[in-house]
Structure 1
Amino acid sequence: MAEAQGTEAHGTEAQGSGAQEATGARSAEAQARESAIPPQRVPSWGRSARAVSTGRLGDALPHLALSLFFLAGYCLLALLRYYRFGSPSWDLGIFTEAVKGYAHFGAPVLSIKGPGFNALGDHWSPILALLAPAWWLAPSAATLLVAQAALFAWSVGVVSDTAARVLGSTGRGVLVGTAYGLSWGLQRAVDAEFHEIAFAVPLLAVVGRQLLLRRWERAAWWALPLVLVKEDMGLTVAMAGALLVLCARRWSLGAVLVLFGFGFTALTMGALIPHFNPQHQYDYWSKLPGGEHPQLWQLMVVPFTRLTVWKTCGWLLGIVGFLALRSPLLLLALPTLAWRFSSANSMFWGPDWHYNATLMPILFLALVDGVDRLRRSERLPGLRGFAEGMVPASTGIAAACLVSLPVGLGGLSDPAVWTQGPHAAALRAAIATVPPNVRVEASMGPLAQLAARDDAYWLGGSKQVAPDYLCVDVAGWDGGPTDLPGYGAALHPGNHYTVVFQQDHVTVLKRD
């Protein structure tokens, strides 16, 4: 019996061993079949980024150094223009008054646009209040220029580090970050002095970063503050929500972001801005084709009839080798392009001023995504080499654009940038002649510096209030006034002004 039992036991072991062998064979066969099946294509941003950084300080140093380099360059460019009185517009004076108002815990009143004019009745930019602490430390228009340089430099580090993570190389990341920092959109914005979009640039860079790294909730949270930058940014927030739905299948999160973006834009344009506006309206409806009641076909057709629009699109996409077209991230740029190209104001159409700065982080992060997609593409193997070469080439393209558009850091090669000359000295002396905390009406050059310490008005822009001082710069003013006391009396009938300073075409007059 024992032998029989042993025989049965042996047979049982043999059967178990055979079953295990069969199971193993089937498992190996299944693995072979599975390995033969090509992996399913994952939707947009479905693959995790190649994490280069491990959170150590050493990994962040190249990107931090790049940010500091551009911070120094942007500050140098902006401050050189500021101290030689090269203001291209009255905008720096306007934003100086707004920040000064917030810093004094009051309304952001823009006397330059008119007595008692509230900045929130022009554009919805309450985010400017964040600059109040900086104003307490240094109450000067130059503070705004340094703040903008810091915000732009922050975005450089974000783009550089994100590119390193996605492309798997710190060197590639630094190359993309350098190209972005040199991009003509940022350079134009620095050249145009401070604007509220300075806050949108790093926010959009972080939103794009979180989307590429598949951090959906973080992307949504970083998108929300955009509605405090400018009223149209709510449309960009809505587009971020649409991307979460289309590319990440985050239905609830995306829908909330879409509704919030559209809703806040309607609230600001329809209620908040008119509430603070002197005429209780949103002034920029009239800029659309067809006036305040444009037809849909006008909004969709009119922009494509303008040659300048096509040129600007070429500049925007050309700087990234058109590879941004491979990324759904490019959709974030559509709301901004839509309102700009639909406007009746031709200034919005071209590559000038600051209007393209918010598009630069979107374009370069879309470039990073496009390069990564082409490297992994099985359908377009011929474009892999082009995608790889576009990373170092982007820096050369950005530098070439600066030569073609001699602004920003490219303009530092002009010797006139570094010299201030006797006219700047005369303007400084004129500003010193005007005491602080008075009502002063000034021409373009000294306006921002006077706005930092006085109640400043645009020359000839306010008929209701007679200023205590006039600061008039007639240099380069064709047909400018020669009898300046008479000019002051003509601007403000019933008042008499006496010259208290005159040097190199700059005159200061005091009201008797």
Structure 2
Amino acid sequence: MHDLTGSASPQIHPFRNQTHFRKGPSWFWGAAACVFGVYACVSVRLHQRLQTSGWDLGIFEQAVRSYAHLRLPVSELKGPGFQLLGDHFSPVLATLAPFYRLWPSPLTLLITQAVLFAIALVPLARWAECVLGRRVAVVVTAGYAASWGIAQAVGFDFHEVCFAVPLLAFSLTALGGGRLGAAVAWALPLILVKEDLGLTVGVIGGLVAWKGARRLGLVTAVVGLLGTVLEVLVIIPAFSPAGSYTYWNKLPGAGSGSPSGAVHLLYQATIGMITPDVKVMTLLALLAPTAFLAVRSPLMLVATPTLAWRFFSDNPQYWGTGFQYSAVLMPVVFAAFIDALSRWPATHVRYALTVSGMATVLMFFQAPLYQLVQPATWHTDAHVVTAHSILDKIPNGVTVAATNHLAPQLADRATVTLFGHPDSRPNPKYIVADVSTWDWPFATSTAVVQQLNDALGHGYQTIAYQDGIVLLHRT
């Protein structure tokens, strides 16, 4: 095999022999630092411009704040005293507690997420350069850095899956390079990130066994599968007010023992996995940056658990390319891309890189990272300035009901609930709302006004009202 720059490279087949990475300083960490800067700028500016939300940034900040004060994770935004371990199993969030204790701010979470996403490109670029040369490594770096799955996650608050992205990148590059023990060591912590990722660990274990380390692979697979089973059937129900796993109702025909429910379940498990068309479009968008070569690698199997639960669900939000749901797929597809290219004829690699580069450029303009080159991103309008000035009137340590996009501005210094949510704590000391635009969970902006008027009739007084931002105080 020859380096595309013209120099010779060793005959390495990443799924057959062990890869030994070259030692010494490299450009990978410099690239990661630049990518971190981009991700951090996008996240921070979105927060400064009131474009983050209580659901989900505020919820995660309340969880980390609980850990920082040596308590189990609780989120008032989801309900009074709501135990988050009864919602999702993500104890990995506790690792942020020391940093949050030093800097209690939502920016701690957003910047940490940017760091974790950026670090994931290091093992991918390093492996690509080792087996295919510098040019391929640069294309892989650009493709991952601008990938829509990461960009959408960066553009939508903070989520626990940011921990899974570098773990998967290090695990799959180790697996592809034949370092099976390292692959397992990087994969096992995924069990602590989210309950469904135990299935992903199970697939990685299966690949390790297929690679030749049968006992290690089978033990890893069993640990991963048992981890998911215990988390879903035992741990989460133990903390859940309902006493069960909340997200069973996202499955088709949940709670229905009727023949029609069984038929719908069978349909969803077959034809429903590729219909409606949005699911096919998601698959095309996922594979396009790899010139569709990722499907030639066994590493692509690691994406199947995530794709399966998303496409099997009745929730349309899981099917598309929005939100954070595809972030964990990005290191998988690019690791599979590198593995597939190592098997591809050298004369064809250039064409694959061209297609990959074109797909990356086209998708960049559809993703949140494009905001960095738009003037509006760097302009703070009068409405935002007014909102911050009114929020400053709220004292620290009080209870506040806030509309969704104002809530994360207060979660670091007050007990915040979501204004208008049926499970919110009643009679907070302050209510702050933006009536200039619609905000979830209200159906319309008129509904916000109606609820504010109701509060005025039940002991609240108006402290401030400017440019659509309303602040009420309970006397």
TM-score relative to the length of structure 2: 0.91
- Residue 297 of structure 1 is matched in structure 2 by 266
Query: Is 2:44 aligned against 1:79?
Result: yes
Q: What secondary structure, in the 3-state scheme, does the structure 1 residue paired with 2:205 have? A: helix
* Alignment match of 1:259 (pick from 222, 229, 233): 222
**Which letter maps to 2:24?**
R
What is the alpha-carbon distance in structure 2 between the residues aligned to residue 323 and residue 483 of structure 1?
55
- Residue 5 of structure 2 is matched in structure 1 by none
- Residue 251 of structure 2 is matched in structure 1 by 288
Q: What secondary structure, in the 3-state scheme, does the structure 1 residue paired with 2:432 have? A: strand
Q: Show CA shifts across 1:325-376 (max 9, x none).
A: 110000000000000000000000011111111000000110000000113x
**CA shift in 2, pair 1:353/1:262, >3 Å:** same
Query: Is 2:67 aligned against 1:102?
Result: yes
What is the alpha-carbon distance in structure 2 between the residues aligned to residue 475 and residue 466 of structure 1?
23
What is the alpha-carbon distance in structure 1 between the residues aligned to residue 239 and residue 60 of structure 2?
17
* Percent identity for Structure 1 against Structure 2: 35
- Residue 29 of structure 1 is matched in structure 2 by none
**CA shift in 2, pair 1:316/1:156, >3 Å:** same
Q: Show CA shifts across 1:133-157 (max 9, x none).
A: 1102211111111000000010012
Shift of 1:482: 4.3
What is the alpha-carbon distance in structure 1 between the residues aligned to residue 217 and residue 405 of structure 2?
47
Deviates more, 1:110-119 or 1:284-293: 284-293
Is the Cα contact below 8 Å between 2:53 and 2:408 reproduced in 1? no
Taking the TM superposition and a 5 Å limit, the aligned residue runs for 1:371-450 are 371-375=341-345, 384-391=346-353, 393-403=355-365, 405=366, 407-450=367-410
**Which letter maps to 1:267?**
L
What is the alpha-carbon distance in structure 2 between the residues aligned to residue 485 and residue 245 of structure 1?
60
What is the alpha-carbon distance in structure 2 between the residues aligned to residue 42 and residue 392 of structure 1?
23
Shift of 1:475: 1.2
What is the alpha-carbon distance in structure 1 between the residues aligned to residue 452 and residue 172 of structure 2?
56
- Residue 118 of structure 2 is matched in structure 1 by 153
Is the Cα contact below 8 Å between 2:250 and 2:313 reproduced in 1? yes
Q: Show CA shifts across 1:449-498 (max 9, x none).
A: 211111100002245531010011111133244477533257xxxx4111
- Residue 165 of structure 1 is matched in structure 2 by 130
* Alignment match of 2:313 (pick from 339, 343, 360): 343
- Residue 369 of structure 1 is matched in structure 2 by 339
What is the alpha-carbon distance in structure 2 between the residues aligned to residue 292 and residue 241 of structure 1?
32
Deviates more, 1:72-81 or 1:88-97: 88-97
Query: Is 2:137 aligned against 1:177?
Result: no
**CA shift in 2, pair 1:265/1:483, >3 Å:** closer
**Which letter maps to 1:423?**
H
Is the Cα contact below 8 Å between 1:66 and 1:178 reproduced in 2? no
- Residue 453 of structure 2 is matched in structure 1 by 486
Q: Show CA shifts across 1:367-420 (max 9, x none).
A: 000000113xxxxxxxx43333323542332121112x2x22212232221111
Query: Is 2:83 aligned against 1:118?
Result: yes
Q: What secondary structure, in the 3-state scheme, does the structure 2 residue paired with 1:456 have? A: strand
**Which letter maps to 2:201?**
V
- Residue 310 of structure 1 is matched in structure 2 by 280
Query: Is 2:197 aligned against 1:233?
Result: yes
Query: Is 2:106 aligned against 1:141?
Result: yes
Shift of 1:44: 7.1
Aligned length: 451
What is the alpha-carbon distance in structure 2 between the residues aligned to residue 124 and residue 304 of structure 1?
29
Between Structure 1 and Structure 2, the one with more helix by share is 1
Instruction: Flag structure 1 segments of 5+ consecutive residues without an equivalent.
Output: 1-40, 376-383
**Which letter maps to 2:435?**
V
What is the alpha-carbon distance in structure 1 between the residues aligned to residue 75 and residue 253 of structure 2?
29
Q: What secondary structure, in the 3-state scheme, does the structure 1 residue paired with 2:406 have? A: helix
**CA shift in 2, pair 1:213/1:433, >3 Å:** same
What is the alpha-carbon distance in structure 1 between the residues aligned to residue 380 and residue 51 of structure 2?
10
What is the alpha-carbon distance in structure 1 between the residues aligned to residue 238 and residue 314 of structure 2?
25
Give the aligned CA root-mean-square deviation in angstroms: 2.0
What is the alpha-carbon distance in structure 2 between the residues aligned to residue 266 and residue 370 of structure 1?
33
Shift of 1:88: 5.5
Is the Cα contact below 8 Å between 1:442 and 1:458 reproduced in 2? yes
Query: Is 2:324 aligned against 1:354?
Result: yes
Is the Cα contact below 8 Å between 2:152 and 2:368 reproduced in 1? yes
What is the alpha-carbon distance in structure 1 between the residues aligned to residue 138 and residue 28 of structure 2?
7
Shift of 1:252: 0.4
What is the alpha-carbon distance in structure 2 between the residues aligned to residue 196 and residue 372 of structure 1?
32
Is the Cα contact below 8 Å between 1:155 and 1:201 reproduced in 2? yes
Taking the TM superposition and a 5 Å limit, the aligned residue runs for 1:465-476 are 465-476=426-437
Is the Cα contact below 8 Å between 1:474 and 1:480 reproduced in 2? no
What is the alpha-carbon distance in structure 2 between the residues aligned to residue 153 and residue 286 of structure 1?
35
Shift of 1:182: 0.7
Q: What secondary structure, in the 3-state scheme, does the structure 1 residue paired with 2:446 have? A: coil
Task: Kindly report structure 1 stretches of 4+ aligned residues shifted beyond 6 Å.
Answer: 41-44
Shift of 1:300: 2.2
Shift of 1:160: 1.1
* Alignment match of 2:206 (pick from 237, 242, 249): 242
What is the alpha-carbon distance in structure 1 between the residues aligned to residue 364 and residue 54 of structure 2?
22
Is the Cα contact below 8 Å between 1:204 and 1:361 reproduced in 2? yes
Q: What secondary structure, in the 3-state scheme, does the structure 2 residue paired with 1:472 have? A: strand
* Alignment match of 1:196 (pick from 147, 153, 160): 160
Is the Cα contact below 8 Å between 1:238 and 1:261 reproduced in 2? yes
Shift of 1:223: 0.7
Is the Cα contact below 8 Å between 2:417 and 2:424 reproduced in 1? no
What is the alpha-carbon distance in structure 1 between the residues aligned to residue 12 and residue 468 of structure 2?
67
Structure having the higher Rg: 1
**Which letter maps to 2:395?**
P
**Which letter maps to 2:251?**
L
**CA shift in 2, pair 1:446/1:88, >3 Å:** closer
What is the alpha-carbon distance in structure 2 between the residues aligned to residue 482 and residue 313 of structure 1?
42
Q: Show CA shifts across 1:177-226 (max 9, x none).
A: 12110111111110112111000000000111110111101111111100
Q: Show CA shifts across 1:255-283 (max 9, x none).
A: 10111111111100001001111111111
**CA shift in 2, pair 1:484/1:307, >3 Å:** closer
What is the alpha-carbon distance in structure 2 between the residues aligned to residue 115 and residue 483 of structure 1?
23
Q: Show CA shifts across 1:28-68 (max 9, x none).
A: xxxxxxxxxxxxx999711343x5x53112xx2x1011101
Query: Is 2:18 aligned against 1:54?
Result: no
* Alignment match of 1:65 (pick from 30, 37, 41): 30
- Residue 414 of structure 2 is matched in structure 1 by 454
Q: What secondary structure, in the 3-state scheme, does the structure 1 residue paired with 2:431 have? A: strand
